[in-house]
């Protein structure tokens, strides 16, 4: 079985007006936390939308767990956990029921679903909110529910777009530990962020995106990665303008 959990080859998607992503090659291996960093509007979310079929690429291919996402073989999506844009948290349902629904949408039922949900509630310290309807939760706690929904089934590939959005410091630490545990267990993880310090703590690899293109990589253990990041971004912008 391939060690590559996600592979994008020459992926392009251009919106009206020219924005989008252009000729992106990117992969995520098993056990790796690959961070995608860029300024707002750089193309991070577009790229992640392409990974789960929210958008179709104009060119190139997206392979998830070794299968083309629009191929006839079909991806085993039950082995994927993603949180892109809004958390899957329905206001009329409490935290626990939301997680049970997310598990059911991945084919988990009965005791297996209940065990997974209990584990996620425990791991992300959601016990106080398990019986509270999502519409009464703060944005940060809704985000925790969404993260739990993406992680609770221990997927082999995890794709998270700006996962620390609205999280408080304790939520950030809980997420960081949850991701490190899953990477250690063999999951391939891709996270996008515009917080360099945050991703540098956990990433094994950092790719920089600017103007819809991957413009370089950063060493997570590097000394002044902020300076290196901006140098890459400004060089890319100067080249394309």
Partner 1 sequence: MNALIDAVAVESRKARSARVLWSTGALLTFGVATLAAVVVAAGRTADPAMLAKLGPQAATGDWTALLATAAQVTAAGGLLAFGVGLSWLTGREFADGTISGLFGLPVSRSAIATAKLIVFLAWAVVVSAALTVLLLVAGFALGLGAPDVAAIAGVARQFALGALTALIAVPAAWAASWGRGLLPGIAITVGILVLAQVSVLADFASWIPFVAPAFWSIHPDVDSALALSVVPLVPLIFGAATVMVWRRLQLDR
**Contact set with partner 1 (CB under 8 A):** 15, 49, 51-56, 76-78, 80, 82-93, 97, 101-102, 104-107, 109, 146, 149, 159
What is the bridge-based pairing of β-strands 213-218 and 59-64?
Answer: unpaired
Minimum separation from the CB atom of position 224 to partner 1 (A): 35
Minimum separation from the CB atom of position 56 to partner 1 (A): 6
Q: CA-CA distances (angstroms) from residue 163 to 61, 158, 173, 204, 230? A: 25, 11, 12, 17, 22
Minimum separation from the CB atom of position 227 to partner 1 (A): 34
Report yes or no: 187 and 156 within 8 Å, Cβ to Cβ. yes
- Count CA atoms within 13 Å of residue 178 on its CB side: 27
Report yes or no: 190 and 34 within 8 Å, Cβ to Cβ. yes
Considering beta carbons, is residue 70 or 230 the nearer one to partner 1? 70
Considering beta carbons, is residue 147 or 175 the nearer one to partner 1? 147
Considering beta carbons, is residue 152 or 206 the nearer one to partner 1? 152
Q: CA-CA distances (angstroms) from residue 48 to 36, 133, 176, 212? A: 10, 29, 20, 12
Minimum separation from the CB atom of position 82 to partner 1 (A): 5
Minimum separation from the CB atom of position 188 to partner 1 (A): 14
Considering beta carbons, is residue 87 or 212 the nearer one to partner 1? 87
Considering beta carbons, is residue 45 or 164 the nearer one to partner 1? 45
Report helix angle 169-184 to 139-151, nearest 10.
10
Record the tokens describing residue 178, joined without a space. Answer: 């949850």
Minimum separation from the CB atom of position 53 to partner 1 (A): 5
Q: How far is CA 53 from the centre of its chain?
A: 14
Considering beta carbons, is residue 45 or 206 the nearer one to partner 1? 45
Q: How far is CA 25 from the centre of its chain?
A: 17
């Amino acid at each position: 079985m391939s060690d590559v959990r996600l592979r994008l080859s020459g992926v392009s998607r251009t919106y009206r007006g020219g924005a989008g992503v252009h000729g992106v090659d990117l992969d995520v291996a098993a056990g790796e936390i690959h961070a995608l960093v860029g300024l707002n509007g750089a193309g991070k979310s577009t790229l992640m939308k392409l990974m789960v079929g929210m958008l179709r690429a104009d060119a190139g291919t997206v392979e998830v767990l070794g299968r083309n996402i629009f191929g006839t073989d079909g991806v085993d999506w039950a082995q994927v956990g993603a949180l892109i844009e809004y958390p899957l948290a329905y206001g009329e349902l409490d935290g626990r029921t939301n997680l049970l629904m997310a598990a059911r949408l991945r084919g988990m039922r009965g005791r297996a679903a209940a065990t997974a949900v209990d584990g996620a509630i425990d791991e992300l310290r959601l016990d106080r909110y398990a019986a509270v309807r999502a519409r009464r939760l703060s944005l940060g706690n809704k985000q925790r529910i969404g993260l739990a929904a993406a992680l609770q089934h221990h997927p082999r590939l995890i794709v998270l777009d700006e996962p620390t959005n609205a999280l408080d410091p304790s939520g950030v630490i809980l997420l960081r530990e949850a991701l490190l545990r899953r990477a250690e267990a063999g999951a391939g993880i891709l996270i996008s962020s515009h917080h360099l310090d945050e991703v540098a703590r956990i990433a094994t690899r950092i790719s920089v995106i600017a103007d819809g293109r991957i413009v370089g990589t950063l060493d997570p253990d590097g000394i002044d990665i902020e300076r290196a990041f901006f140098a890459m971004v400004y060089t890319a912008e100067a080249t394309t303008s």
